[in-house]
Chain A
Amino acid sequence: MSKKTNKPIFLFVAKDKEPLFSKKNRSLLTDPLDDNNPITVQVLGICSALAITVQLEPAIVMTISVIAVMGASNVIVSLLRNLIPNRIRIIVQLVVVASMVILVDQILRAYAYDVSKQLSIFIGLIITNCIVMGRLEAFALGNGVWKSLLDGVGNAAGYGFMLILVAFFRELFGSGNLYGYQIIPESFYEMGYVNNGFMLLSPMALITVGVIIWLQRARNRKLIEKG
């Protein structure tokens, strides 16, 4: 979730008079973390968010993969936005995203085989992750390269933030570990503390997200749904 981005992008924005990190651009990056979170507010990308949150490690790897895919595909689609005929744009977007995902998948298989096995089909499912398509449709098709990059990275980071949050609670209460290291001291177990194995099962992912949404909306009243 770094806020710095590579310098070469400068070339594309040189014409804009706007400073690189103007207030508006910064909000593209930070809004998705809370007020406009892809998972809890825009309701995008839930499919993969839940299935891989049993432990922190796959969640973090997934976050990095999604940030890479979204940043890259947002930039590419934004570069192509004036060339793509409107009727076939979905297929073009799918092809762009699918090629990015293949790259990420191959890299993961080469350098992090265990995690890649754990994530199984969910890396492939980034292709149909609604966040990617949703942001391409809603933002990259109508905005410049730099802004699209910020939007992509921001939304992916917001998504990853939720992922890591859910994984944190599930791993902590489910197996007493964090990132594979034991956190809850042995003396607790001797006193009779027992891991809640139920947190490791799929229904608890849904309920955890439900509770997070509840807390977020209780704190941030303007997000409450009417009707």
Chain B
Amino acid sequence: MDYLNLFVRSIFIENMVFAYFLGMCSYLAVSKTVKTAVGLGLAVVFVLSITVPINFLLDSYLLRPGALTWLDASYADVDLSFLSFIMFIAVIASMVQLVEMIVEKFASYLYVALGIFLPLIAVNCAILGGSLFMQQKDFAGIGESAVYGAGSGIGFFLAILAISAIREKIAYSNIPAPLRGLGITFIITGLMAIGFMSFMGIKI
């Protein structure tokens, strides 16, 4: 699969939020204003494009059946894939910590902008979901997994940006009281997902 095709697919067609509902919790909780939504979106793009390739390396050199053959040919039938959940989440948690420290040291502007969102990301389902989908899709190389990670991050960014802009405007409209807040956000997300379905079948 060529890179551009994969990139567009992961942004629009297999959008994290609209097609798989990943990262919904933070998507709903942090989308009240555009400013915070942009902060969270950037942090997700950042962390996803780092953790997916790292987890790809981990998967292909440690976890998948027969991955340990680079050590010794006698390890060919060792299958450690049952450990993938715990390895992936450990990588994600430590990468988030590392990224936080690096950003704090070298890009204090970005650190202020991302603020509390970086630590929160360790438990964002979109991040772990990205790695698990990567494992399921069986990518051929690290390049593909990096493109997939960045693409799904950008897909999440677009989704949260759009819903936060809509929510800022919808504050002025006259919605039935029980539907206000969470209810209308769900229904709008559903309508947006229908819109995104029209990207299905696009091939570049």
Residues of A participating in the B interface, judged by any CB pair closer than 8 Å: 40, 43-51, 90-91, 94-95, 98-99, 101-102, 105-106, 120-121, 124-125, 127-130, 133, 201-207, 209-211, 213-218, 221, 224-225, 227
Contacts and interface: CB of A to CB of B under 8 A. Distances in A.
Contact of B24 (A50, A203, A218, A221): A50
B25 A94 contact: no
A209 to B, nearest CB: 5
Nearest to B193: A203
B190 A203 contact: yes
A70 to B, nearest CB: 15
A51 B179 contact: no
Contacts of A224: 177-178, 180
Given A130-B123, A203-B194, A44 B85 contact: no
A90 B123 contact: yes
B136 A98 contact: no
Contacts of B34: none
Contacts of A98: 85-86, 89
Contact of A210 (B122, B187, B197): B187
Given A94-B122, A203-B197, A125 B22 contact: yes
B93 interface: yes
Main SS class of interface, A: helix
Interface stretch (B42-50, B53-61, B105-113, B125-133): B125-133
A210 B86 CA distance: 33
Nearest to B135: A121
A205 B186 CA distance: 9
Interface stretch (B13-21, B65-73, B140-148): B13-21
Given A95-B86, A203-B193, A50 B181 contact: no
B85 A47 contact: no
Nearest to A223: B178
Contact of A121 (B93, B132, B193): B132
Given A106-B82, A125-B129, A202 B21 contact: yes
Interface in B182-203: 182-187, 189-191, 193-194, 197
A48 B125 contact: yes
Range for the number of chain B residues in contact with chain A: 35 or more
Nearest to A53: B21
A64 B182 CA distance: 26
A133 to B, nearest CB: 5
B76 interface: no
A121 B190 contact: no
A48 B128 CA distance: 12
B82 A130 contact: no
B29 interface: yes
B116 interface: no
Contact of A44 (B25, B129, B185): B25
A47 B190 contact: no
A1 to B, nearest CB: 23
Contacts of B93: 90-91, 94
Contacts of A102: 82-83, 85-86
B128 A125 contact: yes
A179 B194 CA distance: 26
A120 B136 contact: yes
10 closest A-B pairs by beta carbon, nearest first, are: A210-B186, A225-B181, A206-B190, A217-B178, A203-B193, A207-B190, A210-B187, A46-B24, A121-B132, A130-B25
Interface string B1-44: 00000000000000000111111110011000000000000000
